[in-house]
Amino acid sequence: MSVSANDLRDGLRIRVVSRRRLARRVDEFVLAPVGVDALPSWTAGSHVDLHTPAGPVRQYSLCSSPDDTSTYRIAVERRIDSRGGSDSVHDEVQVGGEVWISPPRNHFALTRALGYVFVAGGIGITPVLALVDEARRTGRPWRLVYVGRSRAEMAFVDEIESRYPGLVTIHESAHSGRLDLGGVLAGLARGTAVYTCGPPSMLEAVAQVCEPQPAVDSFAEKFTATTTQSAADAEFELSLAFSGVTVTVPQDRTILDVLDGRGVVAPSSCREGVCGTCETGVVSGEVDHRDSILSPEERSENESMMICVSRCTSGRLVLEL
């Protein structure tokens, strides 16, 4: 029996069937379903929420092939600044153990383009792996630039080099210094799509290089929240269209915090505007978008918002809850 994402509103129980060290502080976990034969289908760029044994929910990109739904593969870096999530996975999730995950979600899908350039920094290689393979299948030209401090800290580096000879540039910053992204991305062909996943400084640098090239589209996957400069937060009234509840959201609390306090169940995970779990439909009201997911076009449509970080600028907001 297989299972679809629609069947998994409460998550999916999975078992760890293998684990191996990929790089310094990075382990790979292969996850298989419990009680069903296959996992939900997914597309390149997708991630899942993993409920860690310690409690925190963390997002991890799927880095196997979408063609194989018998297992999922994720790579988890033990973060030096861990708030408990990655430490819990590394210390408590062992082969044979079971954890819960969400259905896959994708905010980093491959678009149609005339060519592709992928830039990955550190653990940012994880969503890029499946994207690279999908780009290869399109027959369009592509190349990958993979940046890390050293090979010892770069997951999948040998696998990538052997699979795609001549198409991958490996840059070790400890030996070669800071990568000149301006030189790497200068003069891109019209219709090129640039996909970047890595630390905030890399995302900002790539965006700055691509912005003056109007015929180039740039896409980024963020693992950490971007600080958003907004006007002073103001109190506003929030109404829930389906339940009839009306509450006040004070200037020092988020919509999600207020709903939690009232016992209103709303899906959530990162609470930083980077995972998309709490995306909620907007009935009326003007939204001050502060997430790192929605595109400028999606924001201008004013049809949904991330209630963990975004607010209202019109004094009253009505949501599909």
Condensed to tens digits (0 to 9), the pLDDT of residues 195-217 reads 999 998 999 999 999 999 988 99
The band of 246, judged by pLDDT with boundaries at 50, 70 and 90, is: very high
Cβ pair 127, 29 in contact under 8 A: no
The reply to whether 130 falls in a domain is: yes
Q: Please determine, for residue 281, whether its predicted confidence score (pLDDT) is greater than 90.
A: yes
Report the CATH number at residue 191.
3.40.50.80
Answer yes or no: is 172 within a domain. Answer: yes
Mean pLDDT of 39-49: 97
Q: Residue 66 burial by CB count (10 A; 0-12/13-18/19+): exposed, middle or buried? A: middle
State the residue range of the domain holding 310: 236-319
User: Domain holding 305: CATH number?
Assistant: 3.10.20.30
Token duo for residue 72: 């999922």
Mean pLDDT of 288-314: 91
* Stretch 40-68: mean pLDDT: 94
Contacts of 308 (CB under 8 A, 6+ apart): 254, 255, 256, 268, 270, 271, 272, 273, 278, 291
Assessment of whether the complete model's pTM goes beyond 0.75: yes
Alpha-carbon Rg for the chain in angstroms: 20
> What's the CA gap between 221 and 274, in Å, rounded?
9
The 8-class DSSP code of residue 312 comes to E
Q: What is the largest CA-CA distance in the chain?
A: 60
The pLDDT, as a whole number, for residue 4 is 47
Q: pLDDT band at residue 105, thresholds of 50, 70 and 90? A: very high
User: Does residue 109 belong to any structural domain of this protein?
Assistant: no
pLDDT of 304 above 80: yes
Provide the pLDDT for residue 250.
94
CB atoms closer than 10 angstroms to residue 152:
12
**Contact indicator for 264, 243 with CB cutoff of 8 Å:** yes
Rounded mean pLDDT of 303-317? 94
On the question of pLDDT at 190 being above 70, the answer is: yes
Q: Residue 310, Cβ neighbours under 10 Å: how many? A: 26
∠ CA 115-214-137 to the nearest 5 degrees? 15
Is residue 119 domain-shared with residue 184, that is, in the same domain? yes
Instruction: Say if residue 11 is in the same domain as residue 94.
Output: yes
Asked if the structure places residue 127 within a domain, the reply is yes
**Which of 162, 188, 221 lies at the terminal end of a domain, its last residue?**
221
Q: Which of 101, 126, 150 is the last residue of a domain?
A: 101
Residue where a domain terminates, one of 192, 221, 250: 221
Give the pLDDT score at 192.
96
SS (H, E, C) 224-251: CCCCCCCCCCCCEEEEECCCCCEEEECC
25 and 96: one domain? yes
Residue whose C-alpha is closest to residue 62's, from 107, 9, 119: 107
Backbone angles phi, psi at 283, to 5 degrees: -85, -45
Task: Please determine, for residue 253, whether its predicted confidence score (pLDDT) is greater than 80.
Answer: yes
If asked whether residues 166 and 123 sit together in one domain, one would say: yes
Answer yes or no: are the C-beta atoms of 237 and 316 closer than 8 Å. yes
